[in-house]
Structure 1
Amino acid sequence: MAGGAAGLGAELLAFAQGWDPGASSLAHGYSLQELRESEFRRLAGTVYLDHAGATLFPQSQLTNFTKDLMENVYGNPHSQNITSKLTHDTVEQVRYRVLAHFHTTPEDYSLVFTSGSTAALKLVSEAFPWVSRGSENSESQFCYLTDNHTSVVGMRKIAKAMNVTSTPVSPEDMWLAEERGAVTSDPDCQLPHLFCYPAQSNFSGNRYPLSWIEEVKSGRLRPVNVPGKWFVLLDAASYVSTSPLDLSAHQADFVPISFYKIFGFPTGLGALLINNRVAPLLRKSYFGGGTAAAYLAGEDFYIPRPSVAERFEDGTISYLDVIALKHGFDALERLTGGMENISQHTFLLARYTHTALSSLCYPNGAPVVQIYSDSEFSSPDVQGPIINFNVLDDSGNVIGYSEVDKMASLYNIHLRTGCFCNTGACQRHLGISNEMVKRHLEAGHVCGDNVDLIDGQPTGSVRISFGYMSTFEDAQAFLRFIIATRLHSPCGQPVPRASTEEAGAPAAEKVQDTPTVTRRDCVSPQEGACMVSGFWNSSSSTVSTQALCPAVSEVVSAEQTPAERAAGILPGDLVPHVVTNLYLYPIKSCAAFEVTTWPIGSQGLLYDRSWMVVNHNGICLSQKQEPRLCLIQPFINLQQRIMVIKAKGMEPIEVPLEEDSEQLQICQSKVCTDRVNTYDCGEKISSWLSKFLGRPCHLIKQSSNFQRNAKKKPGKEQSTGLTATLSLVNEAQYLLINTSSILELHQHLNTRDENGKEELFPMKDLISRFRANIIMNGTRAFEEEKWDEVSIGSLHFQVLGPCHRCQMICINQQTGQQNQDVFQKLSETRARKVNFGVYLMHTSLDSSSPCFLSVGSQVVPVLKRM
């Protein structure tokens, strides 16, 4: 399907494939719209597509559970009083209800509550009756499908500790074994082996045959052709989140589950269903409170309780969470009518989305996405409501999953990226060899990070998944997002593929025909900075050099464009690089404070990101959660040792630059996963911020005696052995951007009509979005990414690498409004990596005399060694 994007969008959304959104209902006359309005009002404006990660609980479930707790007294079930008896009986009732949900009874299965499916898997690996190597009857085999979750693969560590062989089996091997049919077996050999496979792949949503359970147990299908008795563990955690599981028909020996996958709440509670025919074989090496019928403290004497649940539920179970399950079942049945309805509903959504998504093509016919699947989405028997894919450009190159995730968040679409704790499936579908995984680790990539491309090859993918509260409109919103970001340019015009290239050279190497600054030292530290009412000058809102550096502005040519003048790109070629602007951001994520000369300290510009705003839980707020932070303007007065904070509609408020450390209560907070010591700046400023932002929050400051080291370090060839210390910045002491780079982005974003319509993104707006400390004017866009080192005036810095941009660049720093076009266009023009600006680190700083950074200082780079 090729052609114009507008027509494509209209045609795309007609792919109903049997789905009738107008007639969609789940149970008792509930329409999906009514369900969303009554039970999931918090989803308004949000497209949540990570139900395979965790589904969402309905409001009534939490309301009824809370009401239950408020009206009843539940004591520890191990006591004998009335409240404990109530707890015990309620827990047992829920236990029966879980078994009934899976179409079985206590006569066939025992249910052991655990902290989740991972704990259930660990329990099996520890209790299974392994026969180790060197035994008379040979040895047991632990066999698992490579398309298994990490928690299954991790069982091999316990098997290894017990001298048991572990054998991974690919899906292809199982399908071939199934085709071969029965194998020769020895009916007299009872050597126990364990085979684990997922009912549903949490990577692709592929559903493996439940018939394998009986075929493996009976010996008709063998993962490994060895004599003995095979037991089957069915990892059902992903499958049962949207589908019924009938254990009366498919009698797996062990079935681990996590309840938040089904109900959304409670988290931290799972279960292991154990076939009672297997239970007597299980061994237990540990016993905890409540599991013993009798034991002696001074002698190795222990008698377990008779029931399987009592024997394996060490300690007091999370009984209130178990009681919450009762309300989960009530809500699920009332709102949906049962798992059969959920299965059909979610599958139809997935099939529609898969059909539409797989049909998307660029005008040249190239596919927009590559989908990773083993099924054709023909029925819920073979495919769950999961779609796994990577986005491609029109040349077939993968767009990194982290960039897709960032862009999706701008559309308020919540999805998941990476390998989803399923490295085996990730390797199989993406063609990643074992050697590549090891090389990726050496290159610094670990599970869960944002390193999405290495040498142009993807390290993971993008996953969307549906739940019972998902709607047809959710699917459409996701598809519109893909169309808008891949088949539309931000201004509604076809994206020009060659717009960032010249003679085949990448955009980063394109030479800008822009002249440069002619003055070397227009402002020096010795001359001092402009002072306005005792403040370092920050009153000018313009980013032109005329306000900051009059000596430079004298040479501006009348032939220059307004964008070139605003960028500080001046005619002449005597001095190619100078600093045009300096900014610090005293309060993290709040407005910039612009200066002409400013002292520097051991952590960067003095007082840069020394404070941050935290919510009522002490969690740092950024513009991603609270865009109005950019409207809070801090001004520092070094003479009076105060910071004045202003915001529209609020009276200015003062905060001292330093507090008496002996009088402060130190608290701990986190910045970019690092723990930092901070102190609260008091109730007065807390009330001021809370009033302006409309939520409880506090202002905290990093403790002066706390040192936090940077994670970003120079490469081996440029290492100096120095470690940068940081304020509350995320990664590095300084961020530098080049106005030539801004100008190139400006030209891509702005198109004028014949009437000279005002540009959509003025240079001043663009520069402020990137929240850099040092703005310099250069001769080539993105030339700074080729530097190893740089001198600015008398100061020397190491270049640590590019800044990987997030969604904050989409926020207008003057209004707090968001526009995703900036991120999208930067992603398009930067060859799928949204890098902009470079991080700098001090390589030397003489603390015996004050040092300054100044507008007008010469910037002298050292190129990277080839």
Structure 2
Amino acid sequence: ISYPRKFWEIAFLCGITYLDHAGSALFPESLLKAFTDDLRNNVYGNPHSQSISSKLTYDTIEHVRYRILQHFHTTAEDYTIIFTSGCTAALKLVAEAFPWIPEGTEQTSSRFCYLTDSHTSVVGMRGITASMNVLSVPIKPKEILLSEENRLLAEEQNCTTPHLFSYPAQSNFSGTKYPLSWIQDIKSGKLCPMKIPGKWFVLLDAASYVSSSPLDLGVHHADFIPISFYKIFGFPTGLGALLVNNRIAPLLRKTYFGGGTAAAYLAGEDFYFPKKSIAERFEDGTVSFLDIIALKHGFDVLEKLTGGMEKIKQHTFALAHYTYTVLSTLKYANGAPVVRIYSDTDFSNPDVQGPIINFNVLDENGEVIGFSQVDKMASLYNIHVRTGCFCNTGACQLHLGISNEDIQRNIQAGHVCGDDIDLVDGRPTGSVRISFGYMSSFEDAQTFLKFIIATRLSTSDTEIPFQSSVTKLTTESTAVPTCRRGGKPITVTNIYLYPIKSCSAFEVTEWPVGNQGLLYDRNWMVVNQNGVCITQKQEPRLCLVNPSIDLKKNIMVIQAEGMDPISVSLEENTGKEAVICESKVCSHRVKTYDCGEGIAGWFSLFLGRPCRLIRQSSDMKNRSHQKNTKGLSSATNISLSLVNEAQYLLVNVASILQLKEYVSARLEEPLEIEELIRRFRANIVISAPESFEEEEWAEISIGALRFQVMGPCSRCQIICIDQQSGERNKEFLQSLSASRGRKTNFGIYLMNQPLHSSFPDILSVGSQVLPKQCGWEGNSGRMA
């Protein structure tokens, strides 16, 4: 099943293959247009008032509540809609309001049970239950046992102790759909999570499921159903709901009351009388009423474009089934699989499998290629995927074979959820996930499969099959020769600084060294209208902007083809007219100030989008290096400019020459060594006798300067941009990964001690480099 994509094509998606619909759906332009037209034609006031505009808002919200119930095939007689900020807030509400009976009472105490294949936000409910002295019990899917004896035990004792069982309708990790029949089986006692008497209620985490499948609450009477609307429509974000079965709604407890929830209360005495409506009782404060109104248009557009959730279910599953079939059949020449798919199904039935494929890419020897490397390669093809553990540690552990001890060891090794440390001791810490939505097309699946084949297999005579039978494909593996160590001294051959982050290099023969590295290196950066840093990843044309520093005139001159030169003073603007703002670079907070309207207009004109130039403030206390510096005594006092990882980046000409041979063999046109050097955007270029010997160094001395080696630089897609033309060629990152044995490390990071002299030291071309070798495991990072 396929839809004519032209109905919802979005301008900013041109050339992008978006495969993270499980993370968030994308919104069609028609939804935004309908919503903004609505806002232009109507005045919506606060629904807690009594004015005409407020009454319109209240009535529209109530209409949306009915529309949501209709979407899930139920009515207001059976369910109540409580609007929340998202699925997570809905889960927190359940944990706080459920009528738990704690341990230590005369009655049987309550239990909170959850499936181990649950989202973090479900597992996090145990923190609230623990504070209420209620035991939480994780349960694996295979541990849910059918037991008639348990059901009879509960009936004989006539026990009414409330217990809560939570499970996902669809795993956000693997796309496995757990049986909706469990709802009634658990509530009736036919299916018992635990051998204890009591009355079981069911929380169905439907956030992932309802994005691509119909949910009929007229058949499956779950007690609590949390959802997030951006998973369905893509817009609005920050809005969700808890659907509550009316039979349990009166049992819910509430301690805090916010604006709009009280029918009456006294400020001077402990008296509070809640509103009668369950929704109004739990919707503290003013709801996000404009976002709720947007939902009406979301349902309208979704129905108009797709014909309903059943068609979306069939469409997305067809794409997932096709992709899974081809992906699972791809083989190397030696018969080894190209990917390892983590799934509980064979993708043959849309009732048990959603449109999610979770996998890791393997090499010819069956070793896992880290997910961050796959993500970098995918970005070269403008493919957007999701990597990591997807806020589902339980499923990640189960499918990847990660033990509890492994998790703790990984934390000690520096790995935390959300980072790009993809392998620890050669074992994966996460995986890659692709997911389809109603906007996805067959071309998206084809593009993804072509990417896997292009990066892992030889594609000279290969086309992606339309059928499940796939011929074995061959792979080319070219060994890179190793240079022998010579007796020549190691010297500095080039020095570059980058006054404006991600703009062109400024080459010098000697330059002062300050407390942040080379003087004025990455002191400025270009930001968008929201104050977010713009790099060559978003704007390759930044490499065509040429800043140069004139120390005598105390100015920075900025030039670009077709533009009049413009200058910026090197004197920091500390006057009252300076606009101080805070930004982030590589997750670190930096204090900056705006460089004014003139230079903002210059960059906006050149890049064709609103942007501004900002400079780092001299107050740099919040921009110190936080990582292990392996011996630097004053590590916490070392400050950084607007770099991502370290003060300096060093590359070796011998390493570049070796890579040049490898890349040139795969390109039609010859490469110039200067072009390659500029692609790697180093501060210091050296000529060592042996390629990649710099990766064995622990520290180096250049003249009077002593540097600590912080680790290798893990490269991103910026090295694929020709720094002279701004054109992309994804072959460079692919060649680097292939030549380095799946890694994309090239160059090393350096840090030096803060200077104690009032006069800066000078770094000069021709200076001798004296390394001290050491075997270490380095950090990974990026420098733009």
Bin the TM-score by the shorter chain.
over 0.9
C-alpha separation in 1, matches of 2:702 and 2:659: 25
> By how many angstroms is 1:184 displaced?
4.0
Look up the match of 1:619. Answer: 532
1:538-617 equivalences under 5 Å are 573-575=487-489, 577-617=490-530
Q: Which of 725, 731, 739 is residue 653 of structure 2 equivalent to? A: 739
Cα offset, 1:720, TM superposition: 5.6
Cross-structure match for 1:643: 556
Post-superposition offset of 1:132: 0.5
- C-alpha separation between the residues in 2 aligned to 1:771 and 1:442? 32
Q: Summarize deviations over 1:452-486 as a string: whole Å, max 9, x none.
A: 11111111110011111110001000000000011
Note the C-alpha offset of 1:690: 1.3
Q: Quick check: 2:697–2:774 contact (8 Å CA) kept in 1?
A: yes
- 1:398 pairs with 2:368: yes
2:748 is the counterpart of 1:834: no
Work out the CA distance in 2 between the residues paired with 1:840 and 1:332: 53
Report the TM-score when normalising by structure 2.
0.94
Residue identity matched to 2:437: G
Shift, 1:843, TM fit: 2.5
Instruction: Report the AA paired with residue 814 of structure 1.
Output: Q
Distance 1:709 1:117 in 2: 35
Cα deviation for residue 667 of structure 1 reads: 2.0
SS in 1 for 2:556: strand
Whole-angstrom CA distance in 2 between matches of 1:302 and 1:168: 37
Structure 1 unmatched runs, 5+: 1-18, 26-31, 502-509, 516-572
Q: Which of 787, 795, 805 is 2:715 aligned to?
A: 805
1:389 to partner: Cα distance: 0.5
Per-residue deviation, residues 585-631 of structure 1 (Å, max 9, x unmatched)? 11110000111111111110011111111112211110000000000
Whether the 8 Å contact between 1:713 and 1:723 is mirrored in structure 2 is no
Identity %: 64
CA distance in 1, matches of 2:666, 2:328: 36
Shift of 1:233: 0.3
RMSD: 2.0
Alpha-carbon distance in structure 2 between the residues aligned to 1:746 and 1:111: 62
**Equivalent position SS for 1:73:** coil
Matched with 2:5 is 33
The partner residue of 1:347 within 317, 322, 337 is 317
Cα deviation for residue 379 of structure 1 reads: 1.3
After superposition, residues 400-549 of structure 1 pair within 5 angstroms as 400-488=370-458, 496-497=476-477, 499-500=479-480, 510=482, 512-513=483-484, 515=486
Mark the CA change 1:640 to 1:95 in structure 2 (over 3 Å): closer, same or farther: same
2: CA distance, partners of 1:636 / 1:671: 23
The alignment status of 1:693 with 2:661, answered yes or no, reads no
CA deviation after TM superposition for structure 1 residue 513, in Å? 3.1
Partner secondary structure for residue 191 of structure 2 = coil
Q: Does 1:150 align with 2:150?
A: no
The letter for the 2-side match of 1:135 is T
**Is 1:47–1:413's contact at 8 Å kept on the other side of the alignment?**
yes
Q: Specify whether residues 788 and 179 from structure 1 end up closer, same or farther in structure 2 by C-alpha distance, changes over 3 A only.
A: farther
User: For residue 469 of structure 2, what is the aligned residue in structure 1?
Assistant: none
The alignment status of 1:373 with 2:343, answered yes or no, reads yes
Q: Distance in 1 between the 2:631 and 2:759 partners?
A: 30
2:652 pairs with 1:672: no
Match of 2:735 among 795, 813, 825: 825
1:39-188 mapped onto 2 (5 Å cutoff): 40-174=10-144, 177-178=145-146, 183-187=151-155, 188=158
> How far apart in 1 are the matches of 2:733 and 2:413?
26
Match of residue 195, structure 2, among 217, 225, 230: 225
C-alpha distance in 2 between matches for 1:291 and 1:52: 34
1:228 CA drift (Å): 0.7
Matched to 1:778, the amino acid is A
Displacement of 1:644 in angstroms is 1.2
Relative to structure 1, the CA distance from residue 186 to residue 751 in structure 2 (aligned partners, 3 Å threshold; closer, same or farther) is: closer
Residue identity opposite 1:608 in structure 2: D
How many pairs does the alignment contain? 763
The structure having more radius of gyration, on CA atoms, is 1
Cα contact 1:707–1:726 (8 A) shared by 2? no
Pick aligned residue for 1:777 from 674, 687, 708: 687
Task: Give SS of 2:107's match.
Answer: coil
**Correspondence for 1:504:** none
Deviation at 1:498, TM superposition (A): 5.6
The CA distance in 2 between the partners of 1:710 and 1:500, in whole Å, is 39
Say whether the 8 Å CA contact 2:637–2:754 is kept in structure 1.
Answer: no
Rounded to whole Å, the distance in 2 between the matches of 1:721 and 1:118 is 39
After TM superposition, give the deviation of residue 649 of structure 1 in Å: 1.2
* Runs of 5+ unmatched residues, structure 2: 463-472, 777-784
Instruction: Give the deviation of 1:829 after TM superposition.
Output: 2.1
2:662 is matched with: 748
Cα shift at 1:636: 1.0
Match of 2:299 among 320, 329, 332: 329
How far did residue 305 of structure 1 move? 1.1
Answer whether contact 1:490 1:749 (CA < 8 A) is retained: no
Aligned 8 A contact 2:86 2:227 in 1: yes
Partner of 1:247: 217
Partner of 2:56, secondary structure, is: helix
One-letter amino acid matched to 1:52: A
Distance in 2, Cα, partners of 1:846 & 1:490: 59
In 1, Cα distance between the equivalents of 2:757 and 2:680? 30
The CA distance in 2 between the partners of 1:752 and 1:835, in whole Å, is 20
Q: Which residue of structure 2 aligns with residue 652 of structure 1?
A: 565
Q: CA deviation at 1:849?
A: 3.0
Give the Å deviation of 1:844: 5.2
Deviation at residue 232 of structure 1 after TM alignment: 0.4
Relative distance call for 1:116 and 1:659 in structure 2 (3 A) is same
Letter aligned with residue 7 of structure 2: L
Alpha-carbon distance, 1:35 to partner: 2.1
Q: Deviating runs (4+, > 6 A) in structure 1?
A: 179-182, 489-494
Distance 2:709 2:461 in 1: 34
Looking at structure 2, the residues matched to 596 and 195 of structure 1 have their Cα atoms a distance apart, in angstroms, of: 69
CA contact (8 A) 1:770 1:809 kept: yes
**Would the aligned equivalents of 1:722 and 1:843 in 2 still touch at CA under 8 Å?**
no
